[in-house]
Chains A and B, each alone.
Chain A
């Protein structure tokens, strides 16, 4: 994480003074974008850099669903399972994704290519069902579109 400190310093400029503790979340986001997850050495380095207690960082990491302390598959498929999406076929999408990838939600394929998760409302209910491929929303999902997407990503497309 140390190589990111110059970036963190620039981030600080727009924060009011004395907001070091506030930087925990943005820094964790940035670290995770960099490494794919937040590692032990990142936590130690961040606590030292921001002078926050270790337990605060651990609590934050454990609370938010988007933060993780372990790596996941190359592509993260997150299917919304909340009400609007369920009413528009999300349950079928989840089932289909499980079958296609041979994993259950929360698991990663053996080849490390895909991690499948279910998530709550993504704020995209008008274009339900919605699926996130890494950071990008894929809306109005159908089983056909899902097949094509997985085929494309398996072929090595990788990111969305």
Chain B
């Protein structure tokens, strides 16, 4: 019965308490309670409610029923039908929210079973991973996170998904300091993200995020650019910064190609240091990938960069093409087609990831990524959201925000 105005609801009468306890008994009746190997343990509402409302051992004297223990729901999600408590949240999500109609509850009664539609619509659902969070138990689990970590080893850092100009609120989950992996084989995972979940924000994303956010560990976990380069040759960081400063100082018609993945703080630092000196070109660091949903009417936006609106707000309208007579181009971030640089122009390139283009620049400077700093993005609707730092700055890498100040001045002397 839905709540209504003036309705009085008794939540703690003896009858309610007895029925609630009985319902908890029913839910756990055929539930495997294999919490020890269940990724949901620690954030499982069934565990919590059992503790709160029942707490007792099973009163059943009959063997538990069995169902499919491991069903490949899609290439992203596994389903454990024994843990499923048949709440149909996942089914209703695909019906009412993502509208893929990808999941259904087949059959009836206690042998009802969650299954994907045979037309493969669930695998194509760009929001499918939300069912993992919606599932009150560990019946729907992310393959990427399967048996990776107990959730109490992890902490959640509030952040903003950079996947498109919606800028959905997300929690980035990574290992707590006290639970760092020690073995050399596993230690690299300490600096990576383990999973991503949405932060509810009615003004931006409601309670959902799309699958792209879930894949941020992969996007941000790409191999990094390890150090500064002069035309591909390793160079000391300080020398590279001085060289970049000199190239900018010497240029007659310098141009900056600005990253739409830059935070508002970075953009402000850039403007303060170099704003008047360089002509500005705005860049889309990322374009829609083949097979990616370009835009829909739930969350996904066509501009696959988090801060194009921030660029406009901080720097005003920028050009879209590098002027033909530019004699120095400062390229900030990914996704730039270097063929647009005039043949005689010098190139200073700021990038975070390992890429062949890094070696083509006259000066290459490795910069930090979102998880190594905090800041703000402004989304397409003008809502500004903050993201927090997850990890320390790796050695040999600069924050662009700090760097810009050092790029002002004359000559190669300090």
Contacts and interface: CB of A to CB of B under 8 A. Distances in A.
A and B touching (Cβ–Cβ under 8 A) = yes
Interface of A: 43, 47, 53-56, 58-59, 62-63
B178 interface: no
B65 to A, nearest CB: 18
B105 A54 contact: no
Nearest to A65: B108
Nearest to A63: B108
A43 B107 CA distance: 17
Contacts of A43: 118
Contacts of A56: 101, 104
B105 A59 contact: yes
A62 B108 CA distance: 8
Q: Which 10 A-B pairs have the closest CB atoms?
A: A53-B101, A55-B104, A55-B117, A62-B106, A54-B119, A59-B104, A54-B117, A62-B107, A55-B101, A63-B108
B337 to A, nearest CB: 42
B121 to A, nearest CB: 7
B102 interface: yes
B54 to A, nearest CB: 31
B121 A54 contact: yes
Contacts, number: 33
Nearest to A59: B104
Given A53-B117, A53-B121, A54-B101, 20 more contacts: A43-B118, A47-B119, A53-B101, A55-B101, A55-B102, A55-B103, A55-B116, A55-B121, A56-B101, A56-B104, A58-B104, A58-B106, A58-B117, A58-B118, A59-B104, A62-B106, A62-B107, A62-B108, A63-B106, A63-B108
A43 B117 CA distance: 12
Contacts of B101: 53-56
Interface residues of B, number: 14
A55 B73 CA distance: 14
Contacts of B119: 47, 54
A59 B106 contact: yes
Nearest to B99: A53
Interface string B131-161: 0000000000000000000000000000000
Nearest to A61: B106
A47 B107 CA distance: 19
B118 A54 contact: yes
A56 B102 CA distance: 10
A97 to B, nearest CB: 25
A56 B104 CA distance: 8
21 contacts: A43-B118, A47-B119, A53-B101, A53-B117, A53-B121, A54-B101, A54-B117, A55-B101, A55-B102, A55-B104, A55-B116, A55-B117, A56-B101, A56-B104, A58-B104, A58-B106, A58-B117, A59-B104, A59-B106, A62-B107, A63-B106
B67 to A, nearest CB: 14
Contacts of B116: 55
Nearest to B94: A55
A38 to B, nearest CB: 13
Contacts of B106: 58-59, 62-63
Contacts of A63: 106-108
Which of B101, B102, B104 has the most chain A CB atoms inside 10 A of its CB? Answer: B104
Nearest to B120: A54
A54 B117 CA distance: 6
A63 B105 CA distance: 9
A63 B116 CA distance: 15
Contacts of A62: 106-108
